[in-house]
Structure 1
Amino acid sequence: MKHTLSVLVEDEAGVLTRIAGLFARRGFNIESLAVGPAEQVGISRITMVVLGDDNSIEQLTKQLYKLINVLKVQDVTEVPCVERELMLLKVNATSATRSEIIEFAQIFRARVVDVAEDSLTLEVVGDPGKMVAIVQVLNRFGIREIARTGKIALTRESGVNTEYLKSLESKL
């Protein structure tokens, strides 16, 4: 199962290297990684997606807490969260296909950020499922390049689980 971990660390040189080393020594692959400043000066938030069962993730969390600069580790996999990714996507676009690609971009609320004679570059922001879906739709035009950020996530203070609400809507 994929787990999303949110880790608050002191913003010092080498912290990310020590965390990555811990994961490597334990045989874990980090599928997604995003690092940036947190709400407090001198603190960074690392959001990562890791494949593992509940027990191994619990052990990994305990190991993370042993690292000096780690302040807080939270597994937000089962917690209601707001999750986002950013993707830049360069697609082949001829004069005949350009308008169709732009229509698909509008459906996915993507923005055209660059136009060339034979390609379009789109900016897509949303949950990871949206990224997979737009790639599948635009694949037939020929995707030249993809650049994706890692997933970022914050817990919902409201406690509303939007994934649960989506599943209810689909049943109606």
Structure 2
Amino acid sequence: MKHTLSVLVEDEAGVLTRIAGLFARRGFNIESLAVGQAEQNGVSRITMVVPGDDRVIEQLTKQLYKLVHVLKVQDITEVPCVERELMLIKVSATSSNRSEVIEIAQIFRARVVDVAEDSLTLEVVGDPGKIVAIVQLLQKFGLREVARTGKIALVRESGVNTEYLKSQVEAKVS
């Protein structure tokens, strides 16, 4: 199972290297990694997606807390969250299929950020499921380049679980 960890760290040189080293020494892969300044000066938030069962994640959490500049570690996998990812995707688009690519982009509320004679570059922002879905639809045109930020997430203070709500709406529609 993939877990999403939100880690608050002091904004010091080498912190990310120490965290990555901890994972590497234990043979764990980080599938997604996003780092940026948090709400407090001098503190950064690291959002990681890592594979592993609950026991493995618990061990990693304990090990992370042993690192000097780690302030807080939270497994937010099962917690209602707002999750987003940014992707830039360059798609082959000739005059014959350009309108179809643009139509797909509009459905996903993606923005065209560059137009060339034989390609379009799109900016897509959304939850990870949206990112996967648009990539699947655009593959038939030919993907030239893809750059993704990795998942960022914040816990929903409202506690509303939108995944649960989506499943309820889908159940009523079926």
Q: How would you bin the TM-score normalised by the shorter chain? A: over 0.9
Tell me the CA shift for residue 143 of structure 1.
0.6
Residue deviations 1:133-156 (CA, integer Å, cap 9, x gap)? 101101111110000001000000
Task: Write out per-residue CA displacement over residues 35-89 of structure 1, whole angstroms, 9 at most, x where no aligned residue.
Answer: 0000000000000000000001001000000000000000000000000000000
Distance 1:57 1:141 in 2: 39
Dislocated runs of 4+, deviation >6 Å? none
Equivalence for 2:109: 109
In the alignment, the residues of structure 2 paired with residue 114 and residue 159 of structure 1 have an alpha-carbon distance, to the nearest angstrom, of: 38
One-letter code aligned to 1:106: Q
SS at match of 2:31: strand
| Structure-2 residue corresponding to 1:46 | 46
Q: Displacement, 1:169?
A: 1.0
Task: Count how many residue pairs are aligned between Structure 1 and Structure 2.
Answer: 172
Which residue of structure 2 lines up, in the alignment, with residue 24 of structure 1?
Answer: 24
Quote the residue 2:98 is aligned against. 98
Give, in whole Å, the separation in 2 of the partners of 1:24 and 1:59. 14
Which whole-Å CA distance do the structure 2 matches of 1:101 and 1:169 have between them? 29
Would you say 1:70 and 2:70 are equivalent positions? yes
**Pair 1:61 & 2:61 matched:** yes
Deviation at 1:128, TM superposition (A): 0.7
Gaps of 5+ in 2: none
Secondary structure of the corresponding residue to residue 122 of structure 1: strand
> What is the identity percentage for the equivalent residue pairs of Structure 1 and Structure 2?
84
SS of 1:30's partner is: coil
Unaligned runs of 5+ in 1: none
Task: Compute the displacement of 1:95 (Å).
Answer: 0.7
Which residue does the alignment assign to 1:129? Answer: 129
TM-score (norm 1): 0.99
In the alignment, what sits opposite 1:7?
A: 7
